Amino acid sequence: MRDVKMIDIFQHRIAQKYLNRSGMAHAIAVAYHAFHLAKEKNVDVDNAAKAGFLHDIGHYSWYRDGKWDYDLYRQNDIHAIKGAERAHKLLIRLGENPIKAKEIALAILFHTDSFLPGGEVVRTPLQTIIKLADEKDEEPGGLHHYRKIDSERAFKMLQQLDNQIDDWISKKS
Ligand SMILES: [Fe+2]
C-alpha cells in the first residue's frame, strides 16, 4: 500500500499552482514515461512516476515585456533546486515516507544539468530515468510547457497511472 497516490499530489493546491505554471500536460506525460522506463529498468515505479510528475515544480516564468526570455531563464534558472525542495516539502506534508521523499527530491534535483557549472553528474538509475523521461516529452522552443489538458482528463489519467502502479507493485511482491 502506497502512502501517497498520484491523485493526492494532483489535488493539493501547491501542486496545482506550480504544475499549472510549468505545464500539467507535460508533467503527466513525463510521469507516464518515467513509469514505463522504471518498469523496463526494474526501478521503483512509484518513485519514478512521482518524480516525473513533479520534476518541473520549481519553474519560474522568466518573462520580459510579456514574452518568454530564454536568456534570462538560462542565466537565472534554478528550477531543479527549487523543484527538489518544493516536491520534498509537498510529499512530506502529504504523508510520504521520508526515504522515498528524499529519493524523489534528488531525482528532481538531477533531472537536468542546466544549473551545474561542469555539466557532469553521475546519476543513479532513477535519476537517469527522470532525465530521459523529460527529454522524451520535450518540444522545440519549450512548447511542451504550454500544452493544455483539462482538469477532468488530467485527474483520470493520474487515476489510471495510480492503478497501473498498484498493479505492477502487487505483481512484483
Ligand atoms: Fe520538463
Residue with cell 510549468: 22
The answer to whether residue 1 sits within a structural domain is no
pLDDT, tens only, 16-38: 999 998 899 999 999 999 999 99
Cα 34 to ligand 1 centroid, rounded to whole Å: 12
Cα 104 to ligand 1 centroid, rounded to whole Å: 15
Do 34 and 136 contact (CB within 8 A), yes or no?
Answer: no
Distance (Å, whole) CA 49 – CA 168:
12
Secondary structure E strands in 45-143: 63-64, 67-68
Question: Which CATH number characterizes residue 112's domain?
Answer: 1.10.3210
Cα 173 to ligand 1 centroid, rounded to whole Å: 31
pTM, two decimal places: 0.93
Tally of domains in the chain:
1
pLDDT, tens only, 74-92: 778 889 999 999 999 999 9
DSSP state of 155: H
Cα 136 to ligand 1 centroid, rounded to whole Å: 9
Could you list the residue range(s) of the whole structural domain that residue 152 is in?
A: 6-172
A 10 A CB-CB count for 75 gives: 9
